[in-house]
């Protein structure tokens, strides 16, 4: 069941496009997309920002990074190594 939920979430994010496409949307479009996905705009923005790091971070690291107390803007300015260091500090 957990794997199916993770796969569904990954597919939803893939359908949402890239963080750059999301940021290019008008605010009302971002809000509508986030609501359709059952998320807040900031949550979706953070998830899409982290998707950009796929391949540089493991699936577990991506999931843990979503729990960091960082905004999408803050995460976007961090390298994969900096995110890994933040995760190590948290643990």
The answer to pTM > 0.85 is no
* 3 state DSSP class of 57: strand
- 5-15, pLDDT tens digit by residue? 677 777 878 88
Q: Which long-range contacts (CB under 8 A, 24 or more apart) does 36-45 make?
A: 37/12, 42/71, 42/72, 44/16, 45/19, 45/72
* pLDDT value, residue 9: 74
- Per-residue tokens: 28: 């009302």
- Reported as half-sphere exposure (CB side, CA atoms, 13 A), residue 48 has a value of 25
- Sorted by sequence, the CB contacts under 8 Å of residue 44 that are 6+ apart come out as 16, 22, 30, 33, 34, 37
- 42-64, pLDDT tens digit by residue? 999 999 999 889 889 998 899 89
């Amino acid at each position: 069941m957990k794997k199916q939920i993770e796969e569904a979430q990954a597919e939803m994010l893939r359908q949402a496009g890239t963080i750059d496409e999301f940021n290019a949307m008008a605010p009302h479009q971002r809000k509508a997309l986030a609501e359709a996905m059952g998320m807040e705009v900031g949550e979706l923005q953070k998830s899409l920002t982290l998707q950009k790091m796929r391949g540089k971070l493991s699936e577990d690291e991506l999931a843990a990074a979503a729990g960091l107390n960082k905004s999408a803007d803050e995460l976007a300015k961090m390298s994969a190594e900096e995110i890994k260091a933040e995760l190590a500090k948290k643990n």
